[in-house]
């Protein structure tokens, strides 16, 4: 019997520069083969501050991935030079952390991670429910 494929989940911007680093980080750090990717322009701001209807659409897709693909981790990613959500680094960090808190409030029973893809395409971990001491630790 072939090995069962495993999946993680990420809510990310449509920007291609943000998707590959975020997916690779999840694959390497969360022990999954594939990453289901839910995209919307400026996902960090939409999920942190968006209208309930838009947030609910994202939540529905996240739940599909978690339930049907048995994903053990939901990440949210923001990135440098975002066309849809231009803002300073500090504000973006706050948004990403707020997104992670919102995802946690859905009580999916999964690990929740907030990631920032910086100008060099490296991933910084802003918050990780699997590690209480990771809040705002940077891997630069
Ligand atoms: Zn973007």
Q: Which protein residues have a CB closer than 5 Å to ligand 1 (ion)?
A: 13, 15, 82
Q: Which H or E run contains 68? A: helix 52-68
Q: Does 129 or 131 have the greater pLDDT score? A: 129
Q: How far is the CA of 2 from the centre of ligand 1 (A)?
A: 37
d(CA 40, CA 138): 25
Domain boundaries, the chain: 7-128
Q: How far is the CA of 37 from the centre of ligand 1 (A)?
A: 14
CATH class of this structure's domain 7-128: alpha beta
d(CA 117, CA 123): 5
How confident is the model over 33-89, as pLDDT tens digits? 999 999 999 999 999 998 899 999 999 999 999 999 999 999 999 999 999 999 999
Q: How far is the CA of 77 from the centre of ligand 1 (A)?
A: 9
């Amino acid at each position: 019997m072939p090995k069962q494929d495993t999946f993680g989940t990420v809510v990310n911007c449509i920007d291609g520069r943000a998707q590959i680093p975020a997916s690779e980080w999840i694959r390497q750090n969360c022990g999954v083969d594939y990453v289901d990717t839910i995209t919307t322009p400026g996902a960090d701001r939409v999920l942190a501050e968006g209208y309930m209807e838009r947030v609910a659409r994202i939540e529905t897709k996240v739940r599909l991935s978690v339930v049907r693909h048995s994903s053990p981790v939901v990440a949210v990613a923001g990135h440098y030079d975002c066309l849809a959500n231009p803002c300073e680094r500090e504000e973006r960090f706050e948004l990403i952390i707020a997104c992670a808190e919102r995802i946690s409030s859905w009580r999916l029973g999964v690990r929740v991670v907030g990631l920032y893809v910086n100008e060099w395409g490296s991933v910084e971990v802003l918050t990780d429910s699997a590690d209480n001491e990771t809040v705002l630790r940077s891997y630069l």
